[in-house]
Copies of this chain bind each other. A is one copy, B any other.
């Protein structure tokens, strides 16, 4: 069920991105936006669509918020891959935007993908209720700006030149910003769209987001580059603190498993209706890429 829903989310988001990017002039920067926002697991879009379903929001409405968060996620990847940031040549097994085009195009495509995310949320199709549209914009801005995702990224860059490796507390704060905030926004979006309480989904997503990042660190040690779709062993080689280096491999896996159980329990109030979201949590610590 989860597999099917995740695939459905991916194809719906791709079709919607094709539509909204198709409204723009066919410039290289728009082609780069299209390229950068294609592919990926679409976990964030899935979380939006699934939490929307849980609250009785129609998929053709929720798709706007789902596409917005994927556009925002894509912007962060394009900029993270830049030579002055993580300097990655490969993303999802394909050349990164600055390799395929150039750095200027990568900066601009990332910039415009961020703008697109807010445009999609502010369009009337995202919700008939303007208060909901404004709330979606406000919460996404807080999740992705200097108090959220950018903060996590900045802490990550600072850690590379720090005299001592990060502590567990610091790396948890870093990841809560870098990955957690967008995952939480996605899982809560359905409740926001319905004007419902977000607290259960919020706890679910915080646990899920942390488990997700711990598992990324596990894959960096255990995975192979071809399956993971990007360079592995990079963090360990760079002497960076990771959940695995701080906890040890087995304890990191156990921690991720506990977090997933807690994430699933947080959804008790939704009963069986939330089973696909629970499956998503279990998927996070079983994935190979």
Contact = CB atoms under 8 A, between A and B. Distances in A.
A211 interface: no
Nearest to A107: B79
B25 A147 contact: yes
A248 interface: no
Interface in A140-179: 141-142, 144-147, 150-151, 153-155, 157-158
Given A102-B84, A107-B82, A131-B130, A141 B155 contact: no
Interface in A4-39: 23-25, 27-30, 33
Contacts of A105: 154, 157
A154 B108 contact: yes
A115 B141 contact: yes
Copies in the complex: 2
A64 interface: no
Contacts of A112: 145-146, 150
A118 B98 CA distance: 26
Q: How large is the interface on A (under 10, 10 to 19, 20 to 34, 35 or more residues)?
A: 35 or more
A33 B146 contact: yes
A236 interface: no
A75 B111 CA distance: 9
Contact of A115 (B79, B104, B114, B131): B114
A189 interface: no
Contact of A107 (B85, B102, B151): B85
A133 interface: yes
- A-side interface mostly: helix
A119 interface: yes
A94 to B, nearest CB: 21
A68 to B, nearest CB: 11
Nearest to A116: B145
B28 A154 contact: yes
A53 to B, nearest CB: 24
A196 interface: no
A52 interface: no
Given A84-B102, A115-B114, A137-B118, A29 B151 contact: yes
A218 B199 CA distance: 57
A111 B27 contact: no
Given A23-B147, A27-B151, A27-B154, 8 more contacts: A28-B158, A85-B107, A108-B153, A114-B115, A118-B137, A119-B137, A122-B138, A130-B133
20 contacts: A25-B146, A25-B151, A29-B146, A29-B151, A79-B107, A82-B104, A85-B104, A104-B157, A108-B153, A112-B146, A114-B115, A115-B141, A115-B144, A118-B118, A118-B141, A119-B138, A119-B141, A119-B142, A122-B134, A130-B135
